[in-house]
Structure 1
Amino acid sequence: MPQVSAFVRHLVKETERVIGAWFRGGEEEEEAEAAAIALEQPVTTMERDHGAANGLRFGLAAMQGWRPEMEDAHTVVPSLPGALRPWAFFAVFDGHGGAKVARYCARHLLPHVTGSLDLRPPAALSVEDVKRGVRAGFLRLDRRMHKLWRPAGGDRSGSTAVAVAVSPRHLFFINCGDSRAVLCRGGGACFYTQDHKPFLPREQQRIQRAGGTVTLQRVNGSLAVSRALGDFGFKGAPGRGQTEQLVSPEPEVYEMERSDADQFVVLACDGVWDSVGSEELCRFVHSRLLLTRDLEAVCSQVINVCLHKGSRDNMSIILVCFPGAPCVSEEALQREAQLDAIIEEKVQENFKRQLDEGEPNLFYLMQDLSEEEIPDLPPGGGLYSKRELITSIYNKLKDEHRAVSSRDSDESR
């Protein structure tokens, strides 16, 4: 069933995109849409990083995937400078229509936010002070970009933003757009941000008051998010304030007190969330943390799972682990080794059966395996999380078969 759900999500998204291009009309826009569909092969090289400070560990991974350009960007600061040293800040920016806004935000959003906070000791900052500072920082940054680029004819790109600011006592989840943050506490997803989609009642009301429409679940039939930084072509409604435009740069800020039960936070762009749900991803990450402390590797596995599930977008993910994160378990390692052995045996059996019937084929092998009951597959990842292992075993068997066939052919001569 998860395979069907992922397929349906992608089918709906691509159908909306194609119909949206037809609805808007214009050869230039249609050509731009067509160019953005996909490359012939995905770019699977990953940017990876990790670090630790303030009792936190983080890992990240980012992949261009099927898109012609990498439009995602990120910010990782596990210890802020100056008086805010006990604080940390992590953010993912998902660009659209180009990478300019996302990259600018990755460099400049945090200084705009911290510059908006009152210049007093961090301990004296109230929750409301922080929320006001974050909101002011977003709006100031958006105005700054508009002022910088308007004389040159503007820039058509935009970017969503999702972030978490970690203080000694609180977690501040910051969201503008349809990227998402999820908190895993006590073994499950206890909180996640709400995607800003044009069809949500409060978003639709603002869009309509600004003179726009929500068509095909998009702003004016074009943009799939209702809040973003940049996108200045959607921010010129006369008589409307900065946060009352078709697309608003105003973030939502959610505050939670930290708990000893906090395990990890995941920040990711919609290229990840289009392929896996919040609960699914928490379960998968939890299961991987029982096997390794390498957070880069865990993030890379998430992206590979999403790629194999069919994500056609750029993908970026940041994993932030708290002291209460799952630890490597000998029992989990043994269980995983047993699972890998079972999979290897099944691949060998299937490969032999395909040889008897004709030419081996990896696609059909994966299809056959997906129909089998394989116990202890990683929750939330399933067989997709074992695609690399299956491919490696399959290629090894194919190479061995070719070598034997070549040797037999030489001997027959």
Structure 2
Amino acid sequence: MRTARKGSVEMPAFVRQLVKETEKRVSSFFKGGRGGASDGEQPGEGEKEEVIPSPYLDRPVLDKLTEEGCARWGLTYALGSMQGWRANMEDFHNCVPQLGGELAEWSFFAVFDGHAGSTVAQYCSQHLLGHILATAGIGPEDNPEKVKGAITEGFMQTDKHLHSVARREGWERGGTTVVSTLISPYYIYFANCGDSRAMLCRSGQVCFSTEDHKPYSPLEKERIESAGGSVSLQRINGSLAVSRALGDFSYKGAENRTPSQQMVSPEPEVCVVERSPTDEFLVLACDGVWDTISNEELCAFIHNRLQVCTDLRDVCTQVIDLCLYKGSLDNISIILLCFPGAPQLSAEALHQEAELEDLLESKVAEIYDELSASGEEPDLLSVLTVLASTIIPGLPPGGGIQSKRNCIISAYYHQREAHRPTVPNELGSS
């Protein structure tokens, strides 16, 4: 099932009119102090700097793409994706809950975070799994070493075929990071190439997470310099912010060096974790998520949300909104995979959630009245600023006040409407 859903921060038409007065201030509040592309290219050393359009919009695109599904062995999943502040959407994904045939109990999921365009990310989302399966290293025997080798070879073959297509089609720039998981009846295989990340939560704690591939990491930097490159401004040659990716062929031209020895390597880091009945959920997400929230925070937040939400798509959209409100300026994509041991709805958690939202509504009303009484204009940003400095018990762990921002916005506009002056009708009555 694939549906395009409006972001949960979308507002009715009459509310959008009210928000215009604070929109510019809110935008500057979010954008202040952050700049530069997270994984795209900047002009390199010695290159003439070109005047290029800003990679950011004046207003974020809040529409969300969501997807959900399940596998017959008990896995459920959802995807959430949003363009956000970026001028273009460059994220793609692949969700295959059942591979079919003798691999009917296997699942594959991946997030592709493109940079310098979306072409490479789109191509890889369509072809990576096919190249992995074509290696014939994956079978019912579920041999971890063979599977790991097949995944690595699948990445390398994808990059090789991509290079041929790029030369034929004239793709001079562009690449994509990839984070993926292949789930078998006995193991969870993780493959990471770049700075997107996977995280496994077990018994309410982070059990495993992949390592980001950044140019300044010691082993990555050593490879880059050995291939004739340099690391400055935490980027390869002052330009590219990731050290492993598919595509980016302008960084893969060092002679007498294998593909995995180039400045940008297409070789994934593949890890295997044995499955456990205490596995709860697994997250695959681009760096638009991880730039604003830690592994532990996201694990705690999702664990809490699963106790109050039955729709995994809603959990994904809440994560996206949380990252947006915490300052993410990137495209944001997340895949949430829930195992049979995932947290279930809790009557106690639902009660606490209702109490929290009642408390927030009363706090917003109190702040609104106080600002009005002091002669200040109780605009949305002013109310948010005061509320952010207020101690609020019971906020979702890992989420903080930002995770309840939609509730706060709703409460604010309720107060705005309640305080709107009454307009006399034609007969003079009020």
- Shorter-chain TM-score above 0.5: yes
Equivalent residue of 1:406, what SS?
Answer: coil
Q: Say if 2:75 is the partner of 1:75.
A: no
Q: 1:95 to 1:19 in 2, by over 3 A?
A: closer
CA contact (8 A) 2:40 2:116 kept: no
Question: Distance in 1 between the 2:393 and 2:163 partners?
Answer: 54
Displacement of 1:125 in angstroms is 3.5
Q: Say if 2:203 is the partner of 1:181.
A: no
From 99, 120, 134, the equivalent of 1:101 is 120
2:184 matched to which residue of 1? Answer: 167
Question: 1:295 is matched by which residue type in structure 2?
Answer: L
From 65, 72, 78, the equivalent of 1:59 is 78
Equivalent residue of 2:181, what SS?
Answer: strand
Q: Say if 2:367 is the partner of 1:350.
A: yes
Q: 1:12 to 1:18 in 2, by over 3 A?
A: farther
Question: Distance in 2 between the 1:189 and 1:405 partners?
Answer: 54
Q: 1:24 to 1:374 in 2, by over 3 A?
A: farther
2:22 matched to which residue of 1? Answer: none
* Aligned Cα root-mean-square deviation (Å): 2.3
CA contact (8 A) 2:41 2:116 kept: no
1:325 matched to which residue of 2? Answer: 342
From 376, 380, 386, the equivalent of 1:368 is 386
- Within-5 A mapping of 1:185-334: 185-334=202-351
Question: 2:357 is matched by which residue type in structure 1?
Answer: D
Question: Distance in 1 between the 2:349 and 2:285 partners?
Answer: 26
From 135, 141, 161, the equivalent of 1:116 is 135
For each residue in 1:44-70, what CA deviation from the matched residue of structure 2 results, as whole angstroms up to 9, or x when unmatched? 000001111121000110000011110
Q: 1:20 to 1:75 in 2, by over 3 A?
A: closer
Displacement of 1:155 in angstroms is 3.6
For each residue in 1:220-252, what CA deviation from the matched residue of structure 2 results, as whole angstroms up to 9, or x when unmatched? 110000000011111111111111111000001
2:18 matched to which residue of 1? Answer: none
Question: 1:327 is matched by which residue type in structure 2?
Answer: Q
Question: Distance in 2 between the 1:390 and 1:9 partners?
Answer: 21
1:40 matched to which residue of 2? Answer: 58
From 44, 48, 51, the equivalent of 1:26 is 48
For each residue in 1:249-282, what CA deviation from the matched residue of structure 2 results, as whole angstroms up to 9, or x when unmatched? 0001100100011000011000010011111000
For each residue in 1:310-347, what CA deviation from the matched residue of structure 2 results, as whole angstroms up to 9, or x when unmatched? 11000000000000000000000000000000000000
1:4 matched to which residue of 2? Answer: none
Q: 1:344 to 1:235 in 2, by over 3 A?
A: same
CA contact (8 A) 1:354 1:361 kept: no
From 135, 143, 149, the equivalent of 2:152 is 135
Runs of 4+ in 1 over 6 A off after TM superposition: 7-10, 15-19
CA contact (8 A) 1:49 1:61 kept: yes
Q: 1:153 to 1:332 in 2, by over 3 A?
A: same
For each residue in 1:376-412, what CA deviation from the matched residue of structure 2 results, as whole angstroms up to 9, or x when unmatched? 101111110111111111112112222x343499959
Question: Distance in 2 between the 1:359 and 1:76 partners?
Answer: 48
CA contact (8 A) 1:10 1:310 kept: no
CA contact (8 A) 2:96 2:109 kept: yes
Q: How many residues align?
A: 400
1:151 matched to which residue of 2? Answer: 168
Question: Distance in 2 between the 1:292 and 1:389 partners?
Answer: 15
1:395 matched to which residue of 2? Answer: 413
Question: Distance in 1 between the 2:157 and 2:40 partners?
Answer: 35
Question: Distance in 2 between the 1:183 and 1:44 partners?
Answer: 28
Which structure 2 residue ranges, 5 or more long, are not aligned?
1-28
Question: 1:42 is matched by which residue type in structure 2?
Answer: P
Displacement of 1:82 in angstroms is 1.8
Comparing 351-360 with 68-77, which one deviates more in the overlay?
351-360
Question: Distance in 1 between the 2:315 and 2:90 partners?
Answer: 22
Question: Distance in 1 between the 2:254 and 2:44 partners?
Answer: 25
Equivalent residue of 1:51, what SS?
Answer: strand
For each residue in 1:93-119, what CA deviation from the matched residue of structure 2 results, as whole angstroms up to 9, or x when unmatched? 000000001111111111111111337
Q: 1:199 to 1:259 in 2, by over 3 A?
A: same
Question: Distance in 2 between the 1:143 and 1:8 partners?
Answer: 40
Which structure 1 residue ranges, 5 or more long, are not aligned?
1-6
Question: Distance in 2 between the 1:271 and 1:216 partners?
Answer: 20
CA contact (8 A) 1:173 1:193 kept: yes
Equivalent residue of 2:297, what SS?
Answer: helix
Give the percent of matched residue pairs that are identical in Structure 1 and Structure 2: 48
| TM-score, reference length from structure 1 | 0.92
Equivalent residue of 2:58, what SS?
Answer: coil
Q: 1:108 to 1:20 in 2, by over 3 A?
A: closer
Question: Distance in 2 between the 1:97 and 1:213 partners?
Answer: 20
Question: Distance in 1 between the 2:289 and 2:229 partners?
Answer: 29
Question: 2:74 is matched by which residue type in structure 1?
Answer: G
CA contact (8 A) 1:47 1:63 kept: yes
